[in-house]
Amino acid sequence: MNAPEITRFTASGDGGLTPAMRAAYERDGFLVLDDFFSPGDCAALIGRASALVAGFAPDDVASIFSSANQSALTDKYFLESGDEIRFFFEEEAFAPSGALKQAKELSINKIGHALHDLDPVFSELSRRPALGRVAQDLGLATPVLMQSMYIFKQPRIGGEVVCHQDATFLMTEPISVMGLWLALEPATRENGCMWALPGGHRGPLLRRFVRDEGGVRMDELTDELTAEGWPERAGAAYVPIEAGTGTLVVLHGLLPHRSGANRSDRSRQAYALHLVDGSLPWPADNWLQRRPERPARGFAKP
């Protein structure tokens, strides 16, 4: 089956966007910029993530994921990861005994959520002026880096990411979150590329993930969700956003998007940053919170 073509552009180098690029983002809710980062930049992040995993002792947290207290402890490990570098496993990584079923390098789903602040290699790339320029050209006046995720999408066991809007997880009033998703390896339909609903960002926020006394909960904000999960607005259908190494995809915070499981033999590694407008208050019931001594920061002034 042939999928509809998406509009794609070649990055300019300094991050400056043309009127056609801005128009595509306004229309579709996403913008694809090929060759935004060099193969060398991508290889450096892959190497750094690999080193972080090598230095991570899964035994320290395996008990968290396998103990009787599982959900409370897992929630705590996740809820306190907003200003830390933490490792999250694929859902089926553990045997009933609590041991990993395969090597840790092949078991980790993602690393989050403050690589961009705490790791020098990730921090340097995350704060390249070209990224700040993209965000500002697309309407984010005071971009602040709120969250980073290194996503492995492991061969064969890489799990799907169900359809969502990023504003569900990172709320400001008004909504300002913008995703910057960088392909570190080719992303194809075979290894679980992203899919998005063009124009879907013009719809409302459908859900909100909030922190409460008991941990976290998901609030339904409208009754628009269908039995299948998400409406297809204006006759639009989800389109695959295939990407080569170094492609940057910018995502509007209200754009419905998802990615499939990876049943192929190749990983689909990616690095995602989420920016918000730093002039807006950060709600206390967002799941992601940072300690006062580790404030979210923006881009260095040139």
Residues that bind Fe ion (CB under 5 A): 166
Tell the residue number behind the tokens 């989800």, with chain if given.
238
Q: Which is nearer to Fe ion, 74 or 147 (CB)?
A: 147
| Least Cβ distance, residue 60 to Fe ion (angstroms) | 28
Residue with tokens 């995703």: 179
Backbone φ/ψ region at 153: left (φ over 0), alpha (ψ -120 to 50), beta: left
What is the edge-to-edge ordering of all strands in the sheet holding 257-259?
161-164, 257-259, 194-196, 239-241
The dihedral of CA 7, 8, 12, 14: what is its sign?
Answer: positive
Q: Nearest Cα to 217, choosing from 163, 169, 258?
A: 169
**Nearer Cβ to Fe ion, position 28 or 166?**
166
User: Strand, coil or helix: what is 266?
Assistant: coil
Give 262's DSSP letter.
Answer: B
The minimum distance between CB 257 and Fe ion, in angstroms, equals: 6
Nearer to Fe ion, 166 or 185 (CB): 166
Cβ of residue 35: shortest distance to Fe ion, in angstroms?
Answer: 23
Least Å from the CB of residue 166 to Fe ion: 5
By beta-carbon proximity to Fe ion, the closer residue of 93 and 241 is 241
Under the phi-then-psi rule, with left for phi > 0, alpha for psi from -120 to 50, and beta for the rest, what region is 274?
A: beta
Q: How many CB atoms lie within 10 A of CB 230?
A: 20
Token readout for 167 is: 């504003």
- Min separation Cβ 100 and Fe ion, Å: 26
Residue 90 has a CB neighbour count (10 Å cut-off) of 20
The CB-of-164 to Fe ion minimum distance in angstroms stands at 6
Closer to Fe ion by Cβ: residue 73 or 216: 216
Query: What CA–CA distance (Å, rounded) separates 62 from 96?
Result: 11
Of 100 and 184, the one with the shorter C-beta distance to Fe ion is 184
Nearer to Fe ion by C-beta: 62 or 113?
113
Q: Is 220 exposed, middle or buried (0-12, 13-18, 19+ CB in 10 A)?
A: exposed
Unique residue bearing structure tokens 């995350």:
126
CB nearest Fe ion: which residue?
Answer: 166
DSSP alpha helix (H) spans, 55-200: 59-66, 70-79, 115-118, 120-126, 129-137
Identity of the residue, 107 or 259, whose beta carbon is nearer to Fe ion in the bound complex: 259
Least distance CB 274 / Fe ion (angstroms): 8
For residue 107, what are the CA distances in angstroms to 23, 92, 136, 220?
40, 8, 37, 32
CB of 117 to Fe ion, least distance (A): 20
Q: CB-wise, 166 or 277, nearer to Fe ion? A: 166
Residue 302 CB, nearest approach to Fe ion (Å): 29
